[in-house]
Amino acid sequence: MSTTETPDSATFDIAVAALLDRIVRRQASVGVIGLGYVGLPLVQAFAAEGFTVRGFDVDDEKVAKLEAGESYIRHIPSERIARLKASGHFVASADFDGLAEVDAMLICVPTPLAAGQEPDMTYVIGTAEAIATRLRPGQLVILESTTYPGTTVEVIQPILERGGLRSGKDFYLAYSPEREDPGNPDFGTAGIPKVVGGDGTAALQLAKTLYDQVVIATVPVSDTQTAEAVKLTENIFRAINIALVNELKQVYEAMGIDVWEVIDAARTKPFGFMPFYPGPGLGGHCIPIDPFYLAWRARAFDQETRLIGLAGEINTAMPGYVVERLRQALQGRQGKGLETARVLVVGLAYKKNVDDLRESPALTLIELLEAEGAAADYHDPFIPEIMRTREHPELAGRRSVPWTAESLAGYDAALIATDHDGLDYGLLIDNVPLVVDSRNIVARKGLQSDRVVKA
C-alpha cells in the first residue's frame, strides 16, 4: 500500500461514500478505454446491470461500427451491440474529453513486448496522459491491462498526479487484471471472479464495490502490486506447463510414444495432475508475452527467472519443430522438398473457434514455410482476410482459400495449426496426400488415416 493519504473508518471521505452509493444504485457512470477483446465484454457486463457506459477508443473505424450497432469481434454478436445501443446504456467515442464526465475509468489497452522482450508501455502511458489532462476530484481509475508489478503506482500514478491531484486523497487508483478467455462458452466476464488491489483502502473498497455489481465474486488483495503479480502468475503457470508438454511431445516422438495418449491417460488420476496439451507454439495476447514482463521486472531486483526463460525458449521454438516434422514427412512419403511444395495452413487464429490473430503461431508457420521456398496458403472460416499485425505486416491482405475438394486437391500437404471445430477434416484427409496435425484434432474427431502425421 502506498504512503498516500487514505481515509480510515472514522474520517471516511464523504466523496467516497457518495460514489459508493452511486455505484450500488447503478447511477455511477463507467468509462472503458480500449474497446477490444477485454474492453468490449466489460462494456456489456456493466451495461447489462444498468450502468451508463462510455467506451473510448482511438480507432475511429471501431467506434463507428459500435455506434452503428455492429460488432467487430466474432464471439460478440452485432445483435448484442445493437441492443446495448438501443437501451441507451452505451455510447462509443474517439473523443477522450468525455473522460471528465465519468465516475470510474477502466483502462483496457494492449501491453505488447518491445525489442529485447521488454515491456512496451506506450499504450498504457498514452492512456494515462489522456486521463491526466481530464482528471477531476472523486474519480476512480482502474488499470486492467496485464503488466509487471509496480506499474500502477510507479507509472500510472505519477502521470495522474502531474496536475496536483493526489491518489487516495483526490482520486482513487486501483488494479484489477482482466481474465478474459475469448470464445469460451462457459466463462464470460460476469462469471469470472475479479482480483482487485487498491492504492489505499478507499480505492480498494470503491473498486471492489464497482466490480461486485457485475461479476460473480471479487477477490481483494493487499495492494496493486499483488494484483499485478496474480495475473502474471496465472499466465506463467500456463506457459511453463505448455512448455513442459511441448518438450515431452518431442521426447516421446523420438521414442515412438503418442504424447496425447499419455496425457489423456494421466488425466484420469483424480489428484496431483492437470492436463495441458502441446501445440505449434503459443498465441494470444497473454501467455506468449506476460512471462517476459516478470522476467524483465525481476532483473531490476537482481533476480533471475531461469524457468521462465527456458519455457520461453521451448515454446518459441515450436513452430520450427512443426515445420521440420512437415519437411521430414514430405521427403519420406513423397520424396519432395519444401522448396517445391504447396502447403495449406489450416486455421490461422491463435485458438479454436475465434477470429483472434494476436501472436498466432500460424502466422509464424507461414513465414517459415515461405522462407524454405514453399508456396503457403491458409484456410480459416473465422478470418477471411489477414489484417495488418505488428509482427507480420507482410502477410496483410491475404485471403482464406475455399474449403472444397477441388481446392484442397491442389496441395501437397496440409498443416493443421488451429483446431476449429466446424471444419470437415474428413474432406481434408480425402483430398490432401499428407496432413500434419499439430493439435491432434484428427484423432479427437475419431478419424484414422495413414495420411496423417502428428507434430
From first to last of the 455 residues of the chain, give the pLDDT tens digit: 333 444 444 445 788 999 999 999 999 999 999 999 999 999 999 999 999 999 999 999 999 999 999 999 888 999 999 999 999 999 999 999 999 999 999 999 999 998 888 999 999 999 999 999 999 999 999 999 999 999 999 999 999 999 999 999 999 999 999 999 888 888 999 999 999 999 999 999 999 999 999 999 999 999 999 999 999 999 999 999 999 999 999 999 999 999 999 999 999 999 999 999 999 999 887 888 999 999 999 999 999 999 999 999 999 999 999 999 999 999 999 999 999 999 999 999 999 999 999 999 999 999 999 999 999 999 999 999 999 888 899 999 999 999 999 999 999 999 999 999 999 999 999 999 999 999 999 999 999 999 999 99
Assess whether 108 carries a catalytic annotation.
no
Q: Dump the DSSP string for 209-244.
A: HHHHTTSS-EEE-SSHHHHHHHHHHHHHHHHHHHHH
Chain centroid to CA 341: 33
- CA dist 399 and 1 (Å) reads 51
pTM of the model: 0.91
Q: Is 394 helix (H, G, I), strand (E, B) or coil?
A: helix
Structural domain boundaries in the chain: 14-222, 238-454
The answer to whether 391 touches 365, Cβ cutoff 8 Å, is no
Residue 357's Cβ-count burial label (10 Å; 0-12, 13-18, 19+) is buried
- Dihedral pair phi/psi, residue 177, rounded to 5°: -70, 135
Domains 14-222 and 238-454 share a fold: yes
Mapped onto helix, strand or coil, the DSSP state of residue 301 is coil
Enumerate residues 6+ apart whose C-beta is below 8 A from 261.
none
Judging by DSSP bridges, how do beta strands 172-175 and 194-198 pair with one another?
A: antiparallel
User: Among residues 423, 431, 433, 356, which one has the least CA distance to residue 444?
Assistant: 423
Res 116: pLDDT:
84
Q: What is d(CA 20, CA 209) in angstroms, rounded to the nearest whole number?
A: 7
Q: What is the pLDDT of residue 115?
A: 82
- The pLDDT score that the predictor gives to residue 1 is 34
Distance CA 430, CA 449 (A): 9
Name the packing angle between helices 201-212 and 14-24 (round to 10°). 10
The pLDDT of residue 6 is: 41
Is 248 in contact with 259 (CB distance < 8 Å)? yes
CATH homologous superfamily for the domain 238-454: NAD(P)-binding Rossmann-like Domain (3.40.50.720)
Find where cell 506457459 sits.
239
Spatial distance between the Cα atoms of 287 and 425, rounded to a whole number of angstroms: 28
> What does the pLDDT read at residue 27?
96
Domain range 14-222, CATH architecture: 3-Layer(aba) Sandwich (3.40)
For residue 285, what are the CA distances in angstroms to 127, 150, 179?
Answer: 19, 20, 12
Active-site hit among 106, 286, 416, 434: 286
For residues 153 and 224, the answer to whether their CB atoms sit within 8 Å is yes
Count of other CB atoms within 10 angstroms of residue 399? 11
Cell numbers for 2? 502506498
pLDDT of residue 344: 98
C-alpha cell at 397: 491482405
The three cell numbers locating residue 447: 478419424
